Amino acid sequence: MVAITLIASVISYGQQTSFTVDSFYQKKSEHVIHSQVLEFPNKTKTEIMNGFKNWASTRFVNLKEVTVSETEDQIVLNYITKDFYTKTLGMTNTVGWYIRVVVEFKEGKMRINYTDDGNAFISPTQYSVATPARTYKFEDYFKEDGQVRKGVQNGLQNVKHNIVESTQSIKLVEQKKNNDNW
C-alpha cells in the first residue's frame, strides 16, 4: 500500500505543470502580462476606437474614472482588479491590484497591452501594517528561481485567465455586432 501511494505521488508530481514568472508575464522586464493584436478587416481606426470605447463602457462601471489618457491613436486605462487572491492557513484573501491597459489603434487593427501596475492600498489589520499602493508587483510572488510561491498560484492564474478572456471578448463583441446588423 505504501509503495502504491509513493508511486502515485511521484507520478502526479511529475505531471504538474510548472507555473513560473516567465509564463505569467509576456514581457517580464516591462511587466506586460498580456499583449495581443486584434484585427478588424475593413474597419477604420475611428470605428475600431469607438468599438473599443463601447466595449469598455460595458466592462467598467464608469469609463471616465478608469481612463488615464486618450489621443487620436491611443487610449490608456488604469483600473483595480479583484481577481488576485492568496490562500494562507485555509483562508482566501482578495488583494486589489492595478492593471494598466494601453490600447493603440491603426486602420484595421488594434494592439492591447495589459501591464502589472502594482498592488492597491492594503488596509492595516491587527496582524499587519498598511501597505501603500504600488509597493509590490506580481513578480514579487515568485521565488528567485522563477517558481511561484505557495498559496498564490491560483490567484495569479485567475488574473492571467481573466485578462486573456477580457481581450477575447473585445473581438467577440465586434463579431456579434457585425452579425446582427445593429
Task: Determine the Cα–Cα distance for residues 131 and 39; give it in Å rounded to an integer.
Answer: 40
Q: Could you read off the pLDDT of 116-141 as tens digits, one per residue?
A: 999 999 999 888 899 999 999 999 99
Q: Go through the domains of the chain in sequence order and give each one's CATH number.
A: 27-177 (3.30.530.80)
For residue 182, pLDDT beyond 60: no
Lowest pLDDT segment from 9-13, 21-25, 51-55, 60-64: 9-13
**pTM to 2 decimals?**
0.85
Going along the chain, which residue ranges are E strands? 32-39, 67-70, 74-81, 85-88, 91-94, 97-106, 109-119
Enter the C-alpha cell of residue 80.
483595480
Per-residue model confidence (pLDDT) at position 90: 86
Per-residue model confidence (pLDDT) at position 178: 66
- 138 DSSP β-pair partners: none
For residue 6, pLDDT beyond 80: no
Lowest pLDDT segment from 13-17, 53-57, 82-86, 123-127: 13-17
Q: What is the dihedral of CA 38, 111, 81, 159, to 10 degrees?
A: 60
Per-residue model confidence (pLDDT) at position 56: 96
Q: Could you read off the pLDDT of 139-150 as tens digits, one per residue?
A: 999 999 999 999
